[in-house]
A and B are shown apart, each in its own frame.
Chain A
Amino acid sequence: MRRKRSIFDLLREYLEEFEEATEELFESFSEKPSWDPESHSLEPLFDVSVSSDNVVVTADMPYADPKSIKIRGVRDNLIEISADMKVKVNFERLGVPHREGEFSCFHCQVPLPVPVDISRAKARLTKGILEIILPREKGYPIKVE
């Protein structure tokens, strides 16, 4: 006889389905090229980490010209990074000679997981890796009795 499913079974199944759907969605987002021949741009690898005071965004941008880096807030929770490259790179140089296109800049949009004060952000480029430190919006302190 089939066992009656408890609320916990249903909840676990629901969570498993949700997890699978999230993973599929995540994979579908990543199924696009990291280059755009129309804008001649490459999408840099980027990373976001959150500490108690800051959100730190880094982006790997080899050949980036430090003077050309632009960072702007698109929305409260989204920043845009762009930079020109010191060299132009075509597909042949990347090892795929059958494709046509030349790239001369980096461009990406980075979602931010928690609210930040973009006006107080600081950025630096070290060895081709851009680091942006965005102070978090302060919440309300809770008094410990």
Chain B
Amino acid sequence: MSTPVEIVEKKPVPEGLTILCGLPDVGLVGAIAVSHITSQLKLNEVAYVRSDLLPPVVVLEKGISRSPIRIVGNSSLMALVSEIAIPTTALHPVIQSIVNWMETKKPKTVISLGGLATPNRQQLIEPKVFGVASNETSIKTLNAQGIEIMERGFLVGPQALILSYCAEKNVPAVALLAEAFYNYPDPEAAAAVIKSLNQIIDLQIDVSELLKKGEEVRLRMRDIMKRTQTELARMQKSREYDVPGFYL
């Protein structure tokens, strides 16, 4: 019997690097941002996720089948990308296995990029970006770089699990979350998180091309957004709108 979730390395993966995560979530912010970074830095596949818990899907690239969930990278940066919304029922084991694998690579920091659903998003000219972290040291790093902290509230989905499992393993992790559309691909929010990412690690990713082809990105991302919407409903993503009431 196969292991429920395996991370299969195709090439040696160096230790001590920063690992970005861009999984499908609200506005596909992380997925769009990491896809743009992957193109700009020409990152190549170094590992992939194999799991019986995922739908029977492969992605074709130049006729060759690939796992939809991959780790791409170069000698200084790694990134977790997914071309499918991870089914809610598989989220825990998949993210837990990925974080276990990340721990073995002793990452400098894990940085998850994503969106924060904002009902009046259409009225915002420039989405704000908030930071959250897995421990106090990482919060201090975000503060030092001038990233506004999301002090309280709920996080639901891949971001939440990455932070939670990283905290358990003592892997330093932060998430950068841009105000975003809940249901529509949001390349402007993706550009905003990349700008904040440029502040905290020395990447100098240019977002002008991403903003220029925003309409094209929205058109191409319709189908993955639709599938992601179904998973967002299943994972009760709307809990992020709730006001926490514990500390009265």
A residues bordering B, Cβ < 8 Å?
27, 30, 34, 42, 44-45, 47, 58, 60, 62-63, 89, 93-95, 126-129, 131
Cross-chain contact B184 with A94 (CB below 8 angstroms): no
Chain B residues closer than 8 Å to A42, beta-carbon distance: 219, 222
Please report the C-alpha to C-alpha distance between residue A60 and residue B183 in the assembled complex, in whole angstroms.
Answer: 9
Chain B residues closer than 8 Å to A62, beta-carbon distance: 214-216, 218-219
Chain A residues closer than 8 Å to B219, beta-carbon distance: 42, 62-63, 89, 94
- B interface bracket (residues with beta carbon within 8 Å of A): 10 to 19
Q: Is B24 in contact with chain A by the CB < 8 A criterion?
A: no
Cross-chain contact A63 with B215 (CB below 8 angstroms): yes
Chain A residues closer than 8 Å to B229, beta-carbon distance: 45
Least CB distance from A115 to B in Å reads 24
B residues bordering A, Cβ < 8 Å?
122, 181-185, 214-216, 218-220, 222-223, 225-226, 229-230
Cross-chain contact B223 with A30 (CB below 8 angstroms): no
Chain A residues closer than 8 Å to B226, beta-carbon distance: 30, 34, 45
Cross-chain contact A95 with B220 (CB below 8 angstroms): yes
Chain A residues closer than 8 Å to B222, beta-carbon distance: 34, 42, 44-45, 60
Please report the C-alpha to C-alpha distance between residue A126 and residue B184 in the assembled complex, in whole angstroms.
Answer: 14
The interface centre, meaning the residue of A27, A30, A45, A94 with most chain B CB atoms within 10 A of its CB, is A45
Cross-chain contact A94 with B122 (CB below 8 angstroms): no
Least CB distance from B134 to A in Å reads 32
Contact with B220, one of A27, A44, A60, A94 (Cβ below 8 angstroms): A94
Please report the C-alpha to C-alpha distance between residue A39 and residue B219 in the assembled complex, in whole angstroms.
Answer: 17
Please report the C-alpha to C-alpha distance between residue A110 and residue B67 in the assembled complex, in whole angstroms.
Answer: 35
Please report the C-alpha to C-alpha distance between residue A27 and residue B122 in the assembled complex, in whole angstroms.
Answer: 29
Count CB-based A-B contacts (< 8 Å). Answer: 45
21 contacts between A and B (CB under 8 A): A30-B226, A34-B223, A45-B183, A45-B226, A45-B229, A47-B183, A47-B184, A58-B184, A60-B181, A60-B183, A60-B184, A60-B185, A60-B222, A62-B218, A63-B219, A93-B216, A94-B220, A95-B220, A128-B215, A128-B218, A129-B122
Chain A residues closer than 8 Å to B225, beta-carbon distance: 45
Contact with B122, one of A63, A93, A127 (Cβ below 8 angstroms): A127
Please report the C-alpha to C-alpha distance between residue A127 and residue B185 in the assembled complex, in whole angstroms.
Answer: 13
Identity of the chain B residue whose Cβ is nearest the Cβ of A131 in the assembled complex: B122
Identity of the chain A residue whose Cβ is nearest the Cβ of B125 in the assembled complex: A127
Identity of the chain A residue whose Cβ is nearest the Cβ of B233 in the assembled complex: A26
Chain B residues closer than 8 Å to A126, beta-carbon distance: 122
Least CB distance from A51 to B in Å reads 11
Q: A44-B222, A93-B216, A95-B220 are in contact. List 10 more A-B contacts (CB 8 A).
A: A30-B230, A42-B219, A45-B184, A45-B225, A47-B183, A60-B183, A94-B219, A94-B220, A127-B122, A131-B122
Chain A residues closer than 8 Å to B215, beta-carbon distance: 62-63, 128
Please report the C-alpha to C-alpha distance between residue A129 and residue B215 in the assembled complex, in whole angstroms.
Answer: 11
Please report the C-alpha to C-alpha distance between residue A33 and residue B185 in the assembled complex, in whole angstroms.
Answer: 18
Chain B residues closer than 8 Å to A94, beta-carbon distance: 219-220
Please report the C-alpha to C-alpha distance between residue A6 and residue B208 in the assembled complex, in whole angstroms.
Answer: 64
Please report the C-alpha to C-alpha distance between residue A93 and residue B230 in the assembled complex, in whole angstroms.
Answer: 26
Least CB distance from B83 to A in Å reads 11
Please report the C-alpha to C-alpha distance between residue A45 and residue B182 in the assembled complex, in whole angstroms.
Answer: 12
Identity of the chain A residue whose Cβ is nearest the Cβ of B227 in the assembled complex: A30
Cross-chain contact A60 with B218 (CB below 8 angstroms): yes
Chain A residues closer than 8 Å to B230, beta-carbon distance: 27, 30
Least CB distance from A56 to B in Å reads 10
The interface centre, meaning the residue of B214, B223, B225 with most chain A CB atoms within 10 A of its CB, is B223
Identity of the chain B residue whose Cβ is nearest the Cβ of A103 in the assembled complex: B219
Please report the C-alpha to C-alpha distance between residue A15 and residue B226 in the assembled complex, in whole angstroms.
Answer: 27
